[in-house]
Every structure is written in structure tokens, then in C-alpha cells.
Homo-oligomer: A and B are copies of this chain.
Amino acid sequence: MNAAGRRLVAELAGTGLLVAVVVGSGIAAARLTADGALRLLVSAVVTALGLAVLILVFAPASGAHFNPVVTAADWVLARRTPARYAPGLAVAVMGCQVAGAVGGAALADAMFAVPVLAASRTRRGGGPVLLGEAVATAGLLLLIVTLARTGRTQHAAWSVGAWIGAAYWFTSSTSFANPAVTIGRTLTPTYAGIAPASAPAFIAAEILGGGLGVLLAVAVHPARQDRVSDAEPARLAG
């Protein structure tokens, strides 16, 4: 398998396992307690740990984006550097992320004997919630782009996990912050699900918030190539 093939496999498997972590832990938590805070605490802690591990595993092969907003930012920021790549590759990566997310939701449902690929009926939305979703994604992109521009991507795994775990709580949307994961979560009739009709507004908020996060990161941290560590690939890890 060549490098592009490995990258696609890594994004497919990584995003799939990430959604399996999110959906599976939600099912287990909802079965084991009626306390809403304990359910969300479990989801947040488990997602933070699982995401951190998956970034560690797949970062060398693909940068461990698992997220179309991250891939889009990566492609844009890499355009004028030696790390640039074809737009077709970016699109293929995003396709693998979405396919992986759908597969991961199905895997989680299968593990817990829940009907596979059934649509969620959990409506989510409204102005405050979409504001929360934008804030969560802005923070995520701010973090990832900052680490890349300051040559500290070795911190990506644990800090990205920590940010998402925190944003499950401090934003009102519980921080999906990822269009591929959002699509995958439309296809599970469980705790972590989101009704398909609610997804487009979530995705729009994620794109908008992500763009703002990139702008803030670029404003605060002018690029300094010399600070890019060579212990990690030049593309974004996260």
C-alpha cells in the first residue's frame, strides 16, 4: 500500500473507531444510569481518552484528522508549502471520514445489539445550541492550527481529547465539532444520535466556527517554519 492508500485507510479506520467510541459509550451510559450528568460525564471522559489514543495511533500515517473541517484547513494552509497536495486527495480523505463514521456507528450498534443504521430521532438545534457548536469547533481548530504553527504537534493527542471532553460540557451542543461524526451520528437511534433533519445546521455551524478558529490561530501565531518540529509530520495532527 502506498502512502496515500495508508492515509485513506487510517482516516477510515480512525474516524470509524472514534464514532464507535462516542456511540458505544453513550449506549452503555444510558443503560447503566438514569442520572443525566453521569451519562454525559462518562461520554466526555471516554471520548477524550479514546480520541487521544486514536490520534496517537493514526497520526504517523494520516495526521489523524478524522474531521473534514480539519482536512479542509490543512489543505488550505498547506497550499503554498512543500507539504501541499492535490484537492482530489483532500476530497478522498473526507469521503473516507464520512464512510468511516457511518461504519463506526453501525459497529457500535452491533456491539450493543441495537438495530444497525437506523436513523436517530433526537432533534438538536436552535440558536444557542448552534452558537455552542460553533464555539466548540472554533476552539478545536484554534488548538490544532496553533500546535502545528508553533511546532508542538506532539501535544495534539492528549490536548485534542481534553478539548473535546471539556466542550461536551461547556457548550450547549455537547460539541459534535465534526461534520463526518455528525453524519455518522444521524444513523444511530441511541443516546449520541442526532436527527438527520438537525444535521445540516450543525454542519454549517461547524464550518463557520472552524473558519473563525483558523483565523484566530493565524492572527495570534504568525507562521514560523523554523519552529516546526521534525518529530512529527508537517501536516496537522488532530
**Chain A residues proximal to chain B, CB less than 8 Å:** 1, 6, 9-10, 13, 17, 20-25, 28-29, 31-33, 35-42, 44-46, 48-50, 52-53, 56-58, 60-61, 107-108, 110-113, 126, 128-129, 131-132, 135, 139, 142-143, 146-147, 150, 152, 155, 157, 159, 162-163, 165-167, 169-172, 216, 219-221
Contact = CB atoms under 8 A, between A and B. Distances in A.
Task: Report, nearest first, the 7 A-B pairs whose CB atoms are least far apart.
Answer: A24-B170, A33-B37, A32-B36, A32-B37, A50-B166, A49-B162, A111-B132
A39 B32 CA distance: 9
26 contacts: A1-B219, A6-B219, A13-B220, A17-B139, A23-B170, A24-B132, A24-B169, A24-B170, A25-B166, A29-B37, A29-B169, A35-B35, A41-B45, A42-B169, A48-B49, A50-B170, A53-B143, A56-B143, A57-B142, A57-B147, A107-B135, A111-B128, A111-B171, A112-B132, A113-B126, A113-B128
B110 A131 contact: yes
Contacts of A143: 53, 56-57
Nearest to A155: B56
A188 to B, nearest CB: 13
Nearest to A22: B170
Contact of A49 (B21, B37, B40, B165): B165
* Number of copies of this protein chain within its complex: 4
A189 B165 CA distance: 25
Contacts of A142: 57
B170 A25 contact: yes
A128 B112 contact: yes
B37 A113 contact: no
Nearest to A150: B60
A149 to B, nearest CB: 9
Contacts of A107: 135
A50 to B, nearest CB: 4
A131 B150 contact: no
B28 A146 contact: no
A52 B50 CA distance: 15
A38 B40 contact: no
A65 to B, nearest CB: 15
B113 A172 contact: yes
